[in-house]
Every structure is written in C-alpha cells, then in structure tokens.
Amino acid sequence: MPLEIAFQTRELRATCESPTRAKRELGELGSKALRRVLADMNAVETVAELFDMGLEIESCTQEHGMLRFQLSEGLSLFCNVIQQSAPMNGETIDWAQVARLKVARIGGGK
C-alpha cells in the first residue's frame, strides 16, 4: 500500500493535483519538482524509503515530525507525520514505521 498523503487545505490539494495550477503558482521548475516528489511519495510505503531514494529531505528540528523536501532554490514542500503519535526509535522518529504524511505548505524557509 502506498504512503498515504493528506493535505492541510483544499487549495494546497488543488495545487498539488493540478499541473497547470502548480505551474502558475510555483513556476516551471517548482511545478516539475513538486510532481516528482509527489510521484516518489506515491511509489513508496514508508517515509524511510524516501530517505533511501536520496531525495533532498531535511527533518526540521524546530517542529517534531516535520519534513522539508527541497523543490527548487528557495522553494520547499513541507510535510508532517499525521499518525496519532509518531513511532519512535529512542529519541528519533522511526521513519520506517511512518506511512502517513500531511502536506502542510509549499514555500520558502526552513
């Protein structure tokens, strides 16, 4: 079963699901990168597999369970764990047990 993806807002879902809207809002490079990351998410069962693919992913230290996928210069896709409690391996999240992510926002920053 593929990684389950939810969206913070309807507008964000529409941007992620419509290549035309994504291109208008994110530009050509951002739109293509977004489609690639979402396709990679649909091809795996856990977040650990995304790390194994070598994608540009950063675990955000200021927000527990938040990941940042680099789309292009100054543009990132932010997702967070939506399981009731993130499975832990000691003091870190056990990404091999995370099968649900919520797309929180697309933008700059860390």
Q: What is the pLDDT of residues 20-34, one digit of tens each?
A: 999 999 999 999 999
Residue whose entry in the numeric block shows the structure tokens 């929180």: 104
The DSSP string of 55-105 is --EEE-TTSTTEEEEEEETTEEEEEEE-SSS--EETTEE-GGG--EEEEEE
Q: What's the CATH code, domain 4-107?
A: 3.30.2310
Report the relative pairing of strands 4-7 and 100-107 from DSSP bridges. Answer: parallel
- What was the pLDDT predicted at 28? 96
Q: What is the pLDDT of residues 56-102, one digit of tens each?
A: 898 876 677 899 999 998 999 999 998 666 777 777 888 999 999 99
